[in-house]
């Protein structure tokens, strides 16, 4: 199995994850939007309601997003090790994985070239 490193904001290796886990994580369009938003965030911490407002700006189905965010996407990011999700404080701490950034760039480039 091939692993990639997960690092914190200081560049310290926090752990590793399997490449297959990253592809499984990014195969969902809503989860890609969440991860893209977290990747673009200047801080590595964000409140869950704030993240929800960012990813649903162009959506009419905020409640559907809320359910998926809390019960599917954030737990999955936590399981893979890309985020620490504190349900009580509604705080997400996102960690960097170069492979995630690279895959998102390739997807963005492919979509842009098709337009």
pLDDT tens digits, one per residue of 46-86: 999 999 988 887 666 788 888 899 999 999 999 999 999 99
The CA–CA distances, whole Å, from 29 to 1, 24, 32, 43 equal 25, 11, 5, 23
pTM (predicted TM-score): 0.84
Quick check: helix, strand or coil at residue 59?
A: coil
Domains: count for the chain: 1
Stated length of the chain: 115
The pLDDT of residue 1 is 59
What is the pLDDT of the chain when averaged over all its residues? 89
* Domain enclosing residue 44, as ranges: 3-114
Instruction: Find, among 61, 41, 42, the residue nearest to 51 by Cα.
Output: 41
Query: In whole angstroms, what is the distance from residue 34 CA to residue 37 CA?
Result: 5
The pLDDT of residue 59 is 65
pLDDT band at 26 (very low <50, low <70, confident <90, very high): very high
Instruction: Find, among 108, 80, 92, 75, the residue nearest to 23 by Cα.
Output: 80
Residue 17 maps to which CATH number?
1.10.10
């Amino acid at each position: 199995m091939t692993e990639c490193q997960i690092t914190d904001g200081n560049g310290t290796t926090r752990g590793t994850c399997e490449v297959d886990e990253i592809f499984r994580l990014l195969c969902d369009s809503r989860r890609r939007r969440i991860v893209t938003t977290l990747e673009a965030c200047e801080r590595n911490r964000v409140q869950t309601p704030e993240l929800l407002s960012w990813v649903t700006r162009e959506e009419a189905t905020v409640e559907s997003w809320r359910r998926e965010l809390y019960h599917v996407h954030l737990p999955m990011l936590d399981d893979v090790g890309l985020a620490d999700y504190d349900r009580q404080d509604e705080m997400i701490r996102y960690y960097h994985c170069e492979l995630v950034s690279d895959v998102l760039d390739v997807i963005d480039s492919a979509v842009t070239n098709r337009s």
